[in-house]
Amino acid sequence: MKRAFITGITGQDGLYLAELLLSKGYKVFGLMRGQNNPKRELLERLIPDVEILTGDLTDLSSLMRAMSVAKPDEFYNLGAISFVAYSWENAHLTSEVTGMGVLNALEAVRLHMAATGQEVRFYQASSSEMFGKVQQVPQNEDTLLWPRSPYGVAKVYGHYMTINYRESYGMHASSGVLFNHESPRRGPEFVTRKVTRAVARISLGLQDTITLGNLDAQRDWGFAGDYVEAMWLMLQQDEPDDYVISTGETQSIRALLDHAFAAVGIDDWSSYVELDERFMRPAEVDLLVGDSAKARERLGWEPTVKFPELIAMMVDADLVEQKELAGIK
């Protein structure tokens, strides 16, 4: 039985990845931070087969302790402060967790391998946010990195540190440069879920409007369930490498609003949407569209869910959740 260790187990991707690995017969361990993490209950209810180990990416000794219990064949480093807007307000903390946390994870793996002789394959959750200022469209593995947020800068550090450990120590360390991916499990602070949840509430008469920032930004949005499959595929290759994972199609926030409101039968959303400077960013990433030809060729990976289907899936799930919360039959 293969063993996997996942940091960020309580996040969107951690949940999907744990389900995928369990379905493949893995024994799965997940790192959970905090003394009384409110997400523990959700994790235990959704995926009771995951063994939870406590620790924090900023605490190397906690990672080493977790490694000595999990003894994983595969280490997926998904833990991060992942909300870009928050990273300006907490730049130092973001650098510690999202940047230096990768170094701690790599060190925990390297030291465990040296002490036990066990081979551990490593996955780093890199991000299209590293491309930042638009240099080239579509973006691929060779595109110049020009991050535009403290989060993006921290991810660049983690990305190059992963490459460095591969080159310095011969580690099987791969970095997935994943473009935005969403699902009904997406955190409500991210724009897709913020919109699908608000649209569900507006259609049920529970809310009047939604307040947003920049409606012109464009993102290459895919389905999280597809993207965790790519993570696993990377660690099944003989050689470690870096891969862009994307759909190759981009949509604006306006298009997101079109699809989400259409899902509840509203064609003209203008009276429901308000704009507020508070949701504008000090530096924006204007256009993301990925070229995942390398992953398609070498990993045989393909996205299966198109954008309209993804947004409809999220609105449907939010309708169910909001009805339940409001006691609507």
User: Residue from 77, 94, 139, 180 that binds ligand GDR (CB under 6 A)?
Assistant: 180
CB 218 to ligand GDR: min, Å:
8
Choose the stretch contacting ligand NDP; rule: CB under 6 A; options: 141-149, 175-183, 207-215, 281-289. 175-183
CB 159 to ligand GDR: min, Å:
11
Residue 251 CA, chain-centre distance (Å), reads: 18
Query: Out of ligand NDP, ligand GDR, none, which partner does residue 56 contact, by CB within 5 to 8 A per kind?
Result: ligand NDP
Beta-bridge partner residues of 176: 125, 243
* Residues numbered 113-172 forming contacts with ligand NDP, rule: CB under 6 A: 125, 127
CB 83 to ligand GDR: min, Å:
6
Does position 143 bind ligand GDR by CB under 6 A?
Answer: no
User: Residue from 82, 94, 250, 251 that binds ligand GDR (CB under 6 A)?
Assistant: 82
Q: Residue 239: phi, psi to the nearest 5?
A: -110, 140
Whether residue 141 contacts residue 89, with contact meaning beta carbons closer than 8 Å, is answered with: no
Burial of 49 (C-beta count, 10 Å sphere; 0-12/13-18/19+): exposed
Task: Pull the structure tokens for residue 296.
Answer: 């398609």
**11-35: b or e for each residue (b if 16 or more CB lie within 10 Å)?**
bbbbbbbbbbbeeeebbbbbbbbee
**Residue of 26, 87, 129, 183 marked catalytic:** 129
Rounded Cα distance, 138 and 290, in Å: 5
Determine whether 151 is an active site residue: yes
Rounded Cα distance, 207 and 200, in Å: 9
Does position 27 bind ligand GDR by CB under 6 A?
Answer: no
Q: Between 38 and 77, how does the x/- string for binding to ligand NDP read (CB under 6 A)?
A: -x----------------xxx-------------------
User: Residue from 24, 34, 274, 304 that binds ligand NDP (CB under 6 A)?
Assistant: 34
Residue 80 CA, chain-centre distance (Å), reads: 9
Choose the stretch contacting ligand NDP; rule: CB under 6 A; options: 32-40, 68-76, 234-242, 293-301. 32-40
Q: Find the helix or strand (DSSP H, E) in which 196 lies.
A: helix 191-203
Tell me whether residue 21 or residue 195 sits nearer to ligand GDR (CB atom). 195
User: Residue from 281, 294, 296, 298 that binds ligand GDR (CB under 6 A)?
Assistant: 281
Does position 303 bind ligand NDP by CB under 6 A?
Answer: no
User: Residue from 3, 4, 5, 13 that binds ligand NDP (CB under 6 A)?
Assistant: 13
Whether residue 191 contacts residue 257, with contact meaning beta carbons closer than 8 Å, is answered with: no
Choose the stretch contacting ligand NDP; rule: CB under 6 A; options: 107-115, 142-150, 178-186, 246-254. 178-186
**Gap between the terminal Cα atoms of the chain:** 45
Determine whether 175 is an active site residue: no
Task: Pull the structure tokens for residue 14.
Answer: 């951690």
Determine whether 127 is an active site residue: yes
Q: Between 227 and 266, how does the x/- string for binding to ligand GDR read (CB under 6 A)?
A: --------------------------x-------------
Question: Residue 179: left if φ>0, alpha if ψ -120 to 50, beta else—which one?
Answer: beta
Q: Which of 168, 174, 193, 169 is nearest to 256 (CA)?
A: 193
Does position 311 bind ligand GDR by CB under 6 A?
Answer: no
Whether residue 315 contacts residue 196, with contact meaning beta carbons closer than 8 Å, is answered with: yes
Whether residue 188 contacts residue 197, with contact meaning beta carbons closer than 8 Å, is answered with: yes
One-letter amino acid of 255 = A
Q: Residues touching ligand NDP: how many (CB under 6 A)?
A: 28
Known catalytic residues? 127, 129, 151
Binding site for ligand NDP (CB under 6 A): 7-14, 31, 33-34, 37, 39, 56-58, 78-82, 97, 125, 127, 178, 180-181, 187
